[in-house]
Each structure stands twice: as structure tokens, then as C-alpha cells.
């Protein structure tokens, strides 16, 4: 299966600072990357879809100026949480669009647990 | 109606028990179905795909009922290590759809 590396695994930051999360596809080219957020005891919620070389598509209610997504290459997509606040504390997970077909299973990065103090 | 519905549980069962989860979906055009396992503070990991004819992988059996629009997961001879949240995921469209997960707790 696809290997996806996500860094950092966890981060604690102060309110008002920015945090960058990287997601790398190690053995394939990811033209599309899904970014999810998961709060405790809740389902994964899609935040945005990033496409290599173009602007990301954000889900309703997700501020594009707060959650900056960059997908500059086929192997790297980044999510930057700008001016983080305690309510942004969550588990962030990336997942590339299955390469072969829409019927292929998803693979996920190992996730980033963000805690904003 | 939500696109994918799962009973959040928790299902609390003793070791060795058989337990089954269902997941109902509303989009009849869904083409692919999967069960994922998610441990606390970890990313979801693929447990098994669900095929129309049903499929088995060791103690795990997955089934699809297109007419009633649900998929199921049966776990036989539960182990303590089976304790986790089980997510159903629907594919086949550009953006996959997730259930909120069913929590399973296996106790000694």
C-alpha cells in the first residue's frame, strides 16, 4: 500500500503562533491530498482538498486564510495553521487520493496531534 | 439523513465473544466499501475491503447488502487487542465518506 509520512506527530504551541504540518508520499506521486481534522470521539472531517500546482478547495466553514495549504510538488503537501488558538487543538491527518482508482482504499499519514496552549 | 451512519457504541464484550457492527449508507451509487480500524490517538488503518459476495479474513467477516444499503463487520473470538474504533468508509466518488466509528471494548 501507499506509504505516507506526516510530520510532526505531535506539537504543542502557544496561542497566536503558526504550525506547519508536512505530508509526504514516499512511494508514489500524489496529485491530490485530502486534509482531515478529528476532534475527540468524532469522525474525520474533511477540511480541504489540495491539488498539486493549483489552489486548494476548502470545505464549508474552514477558513482558507487560517489553514494555508501548499501542494507544490507531487510528493509534498503542507498544512499551516496560522495564528493558532486553543480551539484549533485537534488531530490532523492527511490522505492522498488513491492513485489507481476511486475504488482503491485510502491510506493515511500517521497524523499530527496539535495542542495549542 | 446522514450519508453514513454507525452506532457509536461502545460495544463492551468479553474475550472470545462474537460481535457485529453495521453501517448504513444513503448514497446508492457508492461503489466501494471499506472497514478501517482506528486506535486511540492514531490514524485509521485499513482492516479490510468489503466485496459484494462477502469476504473473510481470519476472524473478521465483512458483508455488503446493496438492497438494504448497509455493510457489516463480524468479529469472532474477540481478543483484547481488538479494542478500537471501527470506521466504515465509502469510496467510488472523488471524496470518500466516513462513518463516525463504532467503539469496541473487549474485556478479560
Residues A106, A38 contacting (CB under 8 angstroms): no
The larger pLDDT score, comparing residue A45 to residue A104, is at: A45
Cis peptide before B10 (omega within 30 of 0): yes
- The mean per-residue pLDDT over the stretch B53-62 comes to 95
Mind listing the pLDDT tens digit for each residue in A48-81? Answer: 999 888 889 999 999 999 999 999 888 899 999 9
Interface of B with A (CB under 8 A): 8, 31-32, 34, 36, 41-46, 49, 87, 89, 91-96, 98-101
Q: Do B43 and A113 touch (CB under 8 A)?
A: no
**Given the C-alpha cell 490532523, which residue does it identify?**
A92
Residue B107 confidence (pLDDT) above 80: yes
pLDDT band at B96 (very low <50, low <70, confident <90, very high): confident
Residue A23 confidence (pLDDT) above 70: yes
> By percentage, how much of chain B surpasses pLDDT 70?
97
Residues B54, B62 contacting (CB under 8 angstroms): yes
Within 8 A by CB and 6+ apart from A68, the residues are: A79, A80, A82
Q: Which of A34, A103, A108 sits opposite B44 (nearest CB)?
A: A108
Q: How far apart are CA A23 and CA A25, in angstroms?
A: 7
Q: Which residues of A30-63 are buried (b: 16+ CB within 10 A; e: fewer)?
A: bbbbbbbbbeeeebbbbbbbbbbeeebebeeebe
Mind listing the pLDDT tens digit for each residue in B2-36? Answer: 689 999 999 999 999 999 999 999 988 888 899 99
Average pLDDT of chain B to the nearest whole number: 92
Mind listing the pLDDT tens digit for each residue in A38-54? Answer: 998 888 999 999 988 88
Amino acid at each position: 500500500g501507499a506509504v505516507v509520512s506526516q510530520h510532526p506527530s505531535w506539537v504543542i504551541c502557544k496561542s497566536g503562533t503558526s504550525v506547519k504540518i508536512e505530508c509526504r508520499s514516499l512511494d508514489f506521486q500524489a496529485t491530490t491530498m485530502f486534509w482531515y481534522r478529528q476532534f475527540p470521539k468524532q469522525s474525520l472531517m474533511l477540511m480541504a482538498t489540495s491539488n498539486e500546482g493549483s489552489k486548494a478547495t476548502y470545505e464549508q466553514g474552514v477558513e482558507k486564510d487560517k489553514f494555508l495549504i501548499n501542494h507544490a510538488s507531487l510528493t509534498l503537501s503542507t498544512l499551516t495553521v496560522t495564528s493558532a488558538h486553543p480551539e484549533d487543538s485537534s488531530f490532523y491527518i492527511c490522505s492522498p487520493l488513491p492513485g489507481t482508482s476511486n475504488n482503491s482504499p485510502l491510506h493515511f499519514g500517521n497524523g499530527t496531534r496539535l495542542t495549542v496552549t | 439523513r446522514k450519508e453514513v451512519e454507525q452506532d457509536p457504541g461502545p460495544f463492551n464484550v468479553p474475550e472470545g465473544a462474537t460481535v457485529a457492527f453495521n453501517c448504513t449508507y444513503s448514497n446508492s451509487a457508492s461503489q466501494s466499501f471499506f472497514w478501517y480500524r482506528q486506535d486511540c490517538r492514531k490514524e485509521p488503518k485499513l482492516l479490510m475491503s468489503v466485496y459484494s459476495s462477502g469476504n473473510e479474513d481470519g476472524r473478521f467477516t465483512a458483508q455488503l447488502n446493496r438492497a438494504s444499503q448497509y455493510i457489516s463487520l463480524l468479529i469472532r473470538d474477540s481478543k483484547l487487542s481488538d479494542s478500537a474504533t471501527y470506521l466504515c468508509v465509502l469510496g467510488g466518488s472523488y471524496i470518500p465518506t466516513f462513518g463516525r466509528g463504532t467503539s469496541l471494548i473487549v474485556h478479560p
